[in-house]
């Protein structure tokens, strides 16, 4: 039976990480996969996470099963973080939440839920979008449509084209929006644009599906939730997928959350029963450790303050690296305007170089980024900035 199988292409982000790890050259630089790195090039365990883990080691009483949704305490704290503790939809008990295995688990279970709502469910995704969005959503059987988003020429959002495309969507279609720190472009909707998108979607009967994997790494925990909170005020139904990989640094602990907002409490309960049944038939229940860490942090004022402080430092470091990179490129003999890097948010920006130039950076300088020229700005540091900019200058001058 297995002899009939064809090998599949590798995931571009994960295969690049494997190549980077196998590279033995000492000056190698990983600007590929979206993980935060500190000045020493390490992906640290946050102080609040370490403290929570040490508390859990002494206080945890059992490893018995939790539930398909994870624990109620985690779900309540995660809801408040995303929607704000006083959000009317939370007060009205219209939001069902389930802790999931990472943001991927949230997206996939959201897609499975939508597929269960209708065999014809269609979801619109930004062009471009994160490489794993389409496999996660289409793999559940959803039809995929695309709306233009990032303009490679202007390095900004093609907002009019985005609205025009969404005008073609049909009532009941879902629209996947990046809550903040758009992956892969770093180009985010401003508040006015969020309002306009919400107006269009409400008028056409479209339903939001927000992926927010980087809350706190753009402008701040509250600021980054602007779009999701606005939509949750205006729409009776929507989905939100979040991740604790980046803002809690819990990558390998696979901790995320899926929220389903329903029109009323009774419909939320029914939607929850559908979702929990899907979860039971996929992985039964999520891993507990990451969620226990988040629960420990968010239920303790001092740990929350420590976490927020460290998260702010991470965010400010990324913003500082963006500024330094633009300054270093401007001071070099590289032609072109790279100021857009400073305006974009989160870990990623498209450098705007060709796949051949990306390949040359990898071959000649051990500098790794995705072929699309998506670079993880957080992978830079003071020690590597000049090396990176002079390698870039070399590669661009060879045009
Ligand atoms: C990324 O985009 O690099 C991250 O979200 C990691 C991943 O799983 O792709």
> What average pLDDT does this structure show over 185-204?
98
pLDDT score at 331: 96
Instruction: Out of 34, 254, 373, give the residue to mutate to test ligand 1, the one with the largest number of ligand atoms within 8 Å of its CB.
Output: 34
Given a cut of 70, whether residue 179 has pLDDT beyond it is yes
Distance 191 CA to ligand 1 centre (A): 26
Q: What is the pLDDT of residues 343-368, one digit of tens each?
A: 999 999 999 999 999 999 999 999 99
Active site residue 124: no
Q: What is the pLDDT of residues 34-67, one digit of tens each?
A: 999 999 999 999 999 999 999 999 999 999 999 9
pLDDT score at 399: 63
Atom of ligand 1 nearest to the CA of 13: 9
pLDDT score at 112: 97
pLDDT score at 219: 98
At residue 394 the predicted structure's pLDDT band, cuts being 50, 70 and 90, is very high
Distance 218 CA to ligand 1 centre (A): 16
| Bridge partners, residue 122, by sequence | 143
Tokens 């003999």 — which residue? 333
Active site residue 246: yes
28, 30, 124, 130: which is the annotated catalytic residue? 130
At residue 120 the predicted structure's pLDDT band, cuts being 50, 70 and 90, is confident
pLDDT score at 119: 86
Q: How many CA atoms lie within 13 A of 63 on its CB side?
A: 3
Single pTM value for the model: 0.96
Given a cut of 70, whether residue 217 has pLDDT beyond it is yes
Active site residue 194: no
Q: Which residues line ligand 1 (CB under 6 A)?
A: 13, 33-34, 130, 132, 183
At residue 26 the predicted structure's pLDDT band, cuts being 50, 70 and 90, is very high
Instruction: Out of 13, 36, 215, 245, give the residue to mutate to test ligand 1, the one with the largest number of ligand atoms within 8 Å of its CB.
Output: 13
Q: What are the strands, taking DSSP E only, across 133-193?
A: 143-148, 150-151, 156-157, 174-178
Q: What distance in Å separates the CA atoms of residue 85 and residue 136, rounded to the nearest whole number?
A: 30
At residue 398 the predicted structure's pLDDT band, cuts being 50, 70 and 90, is confident
Output 120 or 275, whichever has higher pLDDT. Answer: 275
Given a cut of 90, whether residue 121 has pLDDT beyond it is no
Q: What distance in Å separates the CA atoms of residue 246 and residue 214, rounded to the nearest whole number?
A: 6
Distance 131 CA to ligand 1 centre (A): 8
Ligand 1 atom 6: residue of nearest CA: 34
Distance 213 CA to ligand 1 centre (A): 10
Query: What contacts 86, CB < 8 A, 6 or more positions away?
Result: none
Query: What contacts 233, CB < 8 A, 6 or more positions away?
Result: 87, 88, 89
């Amino acid at each position: 039976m297995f002899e009939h199988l064809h090998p599949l292409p590798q995931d571009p982000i994960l295969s690049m990480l494997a190549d980077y790890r196998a590279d033995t050259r000492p000056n190698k630089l990983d600007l590929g996969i979206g993980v935060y790195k500190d000045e020493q090039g390490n992906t640290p365990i946050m102080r609040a996470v370490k403290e929570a883990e040490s508390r859990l080691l002494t206080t945890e009483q059992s490893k018995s099963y939790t539930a398909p949704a994870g624990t109620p305490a985690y779900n309540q704290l995660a809801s408040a973080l995303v929607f704000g503790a006083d959000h009317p939809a939370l007060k009205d008990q219209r939001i069902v939440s389930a802790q999931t295995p990472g943001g991927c688990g949230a997206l996939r279970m959201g897609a499975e839920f939508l597929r269960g709502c209708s065999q014809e469910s269609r979801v619109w995704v930004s062009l471009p979008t994160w490489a794993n969005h389409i496999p996660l959503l289409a793999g559940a059987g959803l039809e995929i449509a695309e709306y233009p988003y990032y303009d490679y020429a202007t390095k900004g959002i093609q907002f009019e084209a985005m609205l025009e495309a969404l005008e073609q969507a049909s009532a009941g279609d879902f629209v996947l929006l990046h809550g903040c720190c758009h992956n892969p472009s770093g180009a985010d909707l401003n508040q006015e644009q969020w309002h306009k998108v919400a107006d269009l979607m409400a008028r056409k009967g479209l339903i939001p599906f927000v992926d927010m994997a980087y809350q706190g790494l753009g402008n701040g925990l509250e600021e980054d939730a602007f779009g999701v909170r606005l939509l949750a005020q205006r729409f009776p139904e929507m989905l939100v997928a979040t991740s604790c990989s980046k803002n809690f640094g819990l990558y390998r602990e696979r901790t995320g959350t899926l929220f389903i907002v329903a029109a009323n409490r009774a419909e939320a309960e029914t939607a929850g029963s559908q979702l929990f049944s899907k979860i039971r038939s996929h992985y039964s229940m999520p891993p507990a450790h990451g969620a226990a860490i988040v629960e420990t942090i968010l239920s303790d004022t001092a740990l929350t303050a420590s976490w927020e402080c460290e998260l702010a430092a991470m965010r400010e470091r990324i913003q500082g690296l963006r500024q330094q990179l633009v300054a270093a490129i401007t001071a070099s003999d590289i032609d072109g305007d790279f100021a857009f890097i400073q305006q974009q948010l989160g870990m990623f920006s498209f450098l705007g170089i060709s796949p051949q130039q990306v390949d040359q950076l990898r071959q000649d300088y051990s500098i790794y980024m995705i072929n699309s020229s998506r670079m993880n700005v957080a992978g830079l540091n003071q020690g590597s900035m000049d090396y990176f900019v002079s390698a870039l200058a070399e590669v661009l001058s060879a045009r």
